[in-house]
């Protein structure tokens, strides 16, 4: 494996505006897609070159199996979810980190009993440039709340990074993750040390429960930013949904020193901030922890 240049940051110095969309998605696909289109457009109007949507932005059903009929084949731009994201990226000339959608498992019928929970990344020309399937599947039981994603999801197989070239700005090396992945720091270490340089930006679209979010969400996000000396963009579901579930929200953008630059506590909205390559370089120079790694 090649050794990354641990002090290296984005290849150009221009700051890049990014936006995390917070939603309270419901049970009707087209309404959710329309809200996503609205917020992508609003983010672009505020100067964002990269926009992230939350986990399951497209559908929060009454039960886990409600997502199964909406599974799409990879790269099917005639399908409603991927088609909407591709058109929005092209219309607004932005990179879109497409939250998550139910993706059909290879060679499985649609609908099937299980799908993958997938982030699709779209370039400003509308092309699908990366796909990441959630590796770690959430399971929680405190006696009152119980949730087991493995009942309807198949886990992914590998980490994924993408280089997002911002016209007139930086080329950002983005590490993709989803919700429960946040609790596994080795995933981010693997991504940061798998290429020619460390990550510039970590993406964590999520639908954290209110209970776990209140206890751990900000703590974990800031830890991932500090230990990888990278920005974090965390677009979340944030409110009480039609199905009665309450998600924590607090969509955030965090800098490499762990400072929260923008936050939407609850309800729909945008967290908007700038990624400054000079800030990444400064943090990595004054505390070269990435160079000091021994394991």
Q: Which two tokens stand for residue 247?
A: 């998600």
| pLDDT at residue 13 in the model | 64
Alpha-carbon distance of 58 to 36, in angstroms, equals 8
| pLDDT at residue 3 in the model | 43
User: Is 274 a residue of the active site?
Assistant: no
User: Is 134 a residue of the active site?
Assistant: yes
User: Is 179 a residue of the active site?
Assistant: yes
Q: Which of 134, 218, 266, 274 is catalytic?
A: 134
For residue range 91-115, what is the model confidence (pLDDT) as tens digits? Answer: 999 999 999 999 999 888 887 899 9
Radius of gyration over every alpha carbon of the chain, rounded to an integer in angstroms: 18
Q: Which of 72, 179, 218, 266 is catalytic?
A: 179
Provide the whole-model pTM.
0.94
Q: Say how far residue 190 (Cα) sits from the centre of its chain.
A: 17
Q: Go through the domains of the chain in sequence order and give each one's CATH number.
A: 16-286 (3.60.110.10)
| pLDDT at residue 90 in the model | 98
pLDDT band at 220 (very low <50, low <70, confident <90, very high): very high
Q: What is the mean pLDDT of residues 130-146?
A: 89
Q: Which two tokens stand for residue 157?
A: 């197989």
| pLDDT at residue 144 in the model | 78
Residue 9 has pLDDT above 60, yes or no: no
Residue 12 has pLDDT above 50, yes or no: no
Q: What is the mean pLDDT of residues 14-34?
A: 97
pLDDT band at 145 (very low <50, low <70, confident <90, very high): confident
- Of the candidates 47, 193, 176, the residue with the CA atom closest to the CA atom of residue 122: 176
- Of the candidates 48, 47, 33, the residue with the CA atom closest to the CA atom of residue 86: 33
pLDDT band at 10 (very low <50, low <70, confident <90, very high): low
- Of the candidates 99, 98, 211, the residue with the CA atom closest to the CA atom of residue 147: 211
Instruction: Count CA atoms within 13 Å of residue 184 on its CB side.
Output: 16
Buried residues in 50-64 as b, exposed as e (16+ CB within 10 A): bbbbbbbbbbbbeee
SS3 114: coil
SS3 10: coil
């Amino acid at each position: 494996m090649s050794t990354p240049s641990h002090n290296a940051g984005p290849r150009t110095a221009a700051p890049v505006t990014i936006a995390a969309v917070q939603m309270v998605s419901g049970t009707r696909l087209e309404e959710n897609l329309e809200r996503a289109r609205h917020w992508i457009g609003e983010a672009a109007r505020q100067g964002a070159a990269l926009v992230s949507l939350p986990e399951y932005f497209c559908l929060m059903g009454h039960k886990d199996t409600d997502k199964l009929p909406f599974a799409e084949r990879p790269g099917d731009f005639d399908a409603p979810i991927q088609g909407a994201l591709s058109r929005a990226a092209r219309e607004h000339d932005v990179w879109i980190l497409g939250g998550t959608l139910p993706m059909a498992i290879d060679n499985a019928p649609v609908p099937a009993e299980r799908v993958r929970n997938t982030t699709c990344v779209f370039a400003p020309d509308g092309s699908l440039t990366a796909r990441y399937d959630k590796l770690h599947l959430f399971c929680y039981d405190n006696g009152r709340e119980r949730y087991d994603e493995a009942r309807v999801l198949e886990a992914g197989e590998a980490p994924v990074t993408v280089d997002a070239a911002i016209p007139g700005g930086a080329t950002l090396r983005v590490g993709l993750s989803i919700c429960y992945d946040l609790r596994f720091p080795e995933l981010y270490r693997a991504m940061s040390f798998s290429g020619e340089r460390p990550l510039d930006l970590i993406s964590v679209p999520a639908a954290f429960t209110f209970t776990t979010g209140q206890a751990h969400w900000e703590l974990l996000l800031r830890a991932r930013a500090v230990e990888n000396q990278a920005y974090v963009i965390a677009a979340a579901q944030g409110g009480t949904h039609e199905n009665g579930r309450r998600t924590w929200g607090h969509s955030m953008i965090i800098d490499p020193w762990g400072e929260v630059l923008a936050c939407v506590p609850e309800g729909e909205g945008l967290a908007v901030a700038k990624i400054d390559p000079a800030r990444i370089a400064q943090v990595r120079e004054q505390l070269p922890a990435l160079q000091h790694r021994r394991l």
